[in-house]
Chain A
Amino acid sequence: MSVNPLYHQTNSRLMEELDWIQRAKADPAHFAPLYKKYHVQIFRYVYQRMDDEEMAFDVTSQVFMKALKNLHKYEYRGVPFVSWLYRIAKSELYQAFRDNKADRTVNIDTVQVIGFIEEFDQDENEENRERLLKSLSKLKEEDMQLLEMRFFEKRSFKEIGEILEITENNAKVKSFRALDKLKKIFLNKIE
């Protein structure tokens, strides 16, 4: 599984980022490099979970506004700055769902569908593809976000743990349990 280079950074990159954060705390205009660096991936995270493109851009803007407004509260504790942005994004995203501004959506490629079917040792055909899409729609939110991060967005367990504020090991266990639940639904073992 590939590694997100923007998430797993070298020490010198992390130091550079911390310098930007300190400058931005003193003057919000210095937040610009952080905005440019992370805008695309935060947008993709948001847009992956909703249907409306314009709404996804709006939510992404809200994420950065909130981050800038609360930047004085941010302290580096060995976790990359972007994981803090992801947490804000998650919060803003669910706020948009609660306010009925957007519908929770799962976006998946045919390649990923086939990957799941093969993982479940089933024949790859039209019927099973349909069945898998139906099974995905029946998952609980908690399981869905783990599968999205692990299998759709290819995030490491460390990154998943930092975004969801759980340990790396816990992220691993929960991700496999979520995959197991999807398999059971797919094989009609649970409704």
Chain B
Amino acid sequence: MKHFKVNLDRKKLTDEYIQSKQNFETVLKGAKSSKVNIWKSGWFYGTIGLSSLAVLVGVSMSNSKNLMNDKIITQTPITDEVVLSQVVDNNVQLASTTPTETKAIETAVLSEPVVKEIKVQQVSSSADENLEKVVTTSIKTVIEEETQSVVKEAEKKVSSISAIPSLSGVHRGDITWEKFKEGKIFIDETREVKSFNVQYTSRLGDKTVSVSGDKIPDEILQDLEKLGLNQTIFITNLVAEDASGLKFRFVSMDFNLKFK
């Protein structure tokens, strides 16, 4: 097998000729400008290696924690409290559906008592057509057979939930300054708004304020009035409570505030 090309009697170069090609300035510049590529340096691989190791350890520890939690859940009998919180979660998801859809979902949940993953694509078809919204939720429930009676009690409450929050009768879209500052957030007669977040723009920039109660606080109204500009305001994380103390989370609202 041939490994090399062999030249016989190649013309010899003189020392003078080779010296004429010397250029120390180029070498000096080249040495100053040449930098080792970051991915070729040792510390780069060291850092990457350590980071990867940290991520691996983190992931494996997180997995082992989850496994331990799963064991605890399967070994502990489900109490009423656990089931109730599960139902509240379901209620949160179902709050903007029509009674018919709610019923259908509830039936599906109850008919599979052990482990069920339900993907629901809901289209709200209430009176206000602007409210059309696609919500994709994944509800994973773990319900033991002996807790079904508790769920059935909750079903009665769930089937009546079809309310949409509003401020001075407006759920979203344009709202006048007068209506905005005077109004309260209203769900229905059975539930009272307990808290929500308001996102708006003040003179100092964008703000998100957590509010207790059902009315926009005076501080926010003063901020808005000082700025005096038409703007979009978001009401999010809206939570209401019924007479029995059961909490519900409702869909967000957004208003185009009009000063004139």
- Seen from chain A, the residues whose Cβ lies within 8 Å of a Cβ on chain B are 28-29, 31-32, 35-36, 39-40, 43-44, 47, 51, 53, 57, 61-62, 64-66, 68-69, 103-110, 113, 133, 136-141, 144, 191
Contacts and interface: CB of A to CB of B under 8 A. Distances in A.
Contacts of A140: 3
Nearest to B28: A28
B68 interface: no
Given A36-B22, A61-B30, A65-B31, A133 B5 contact: no
Contact of B30 (A65, A103, A108): A65
A136 B6 contact: yes
B3 A138 contact: yes
Given A105-B6, A106-B6, A136-B4, 6 more contacts: A28-B32, A61-B26, A69-B31, A133-B6, A137-B5, A139-B3
Contacts of B40: none
Nearest to A132: B6
Contacts of B32: 28
Contacts of A28: 28, 31-32
Interface in B14-30: 15, 18-19, 21-24, 26-28, 30
The binding surface of chain A is classed by DSSP as: helix
Nearest to A64: B27
A107 B10 contact: yes
Interface residues of B, number: 25
A43 B4 contact: no
Interface in B22-67: 22-24, 26-28, 30-32, 34
A145 B8 CA distance: 17
A144 B31 contact: no
Contacts of B24: 31-32, 35-36
Nearest to A53: B13
A-B pairs with lowest CB-CB distance, top 9 = A68-B31, A65-B30, A65-B31, A64-B27, A106-B4, A107-B7, A137-B2, A69-B31, A105-B5
Nearest to A67: B31
A139 B34 contact: no
B243 interface: no
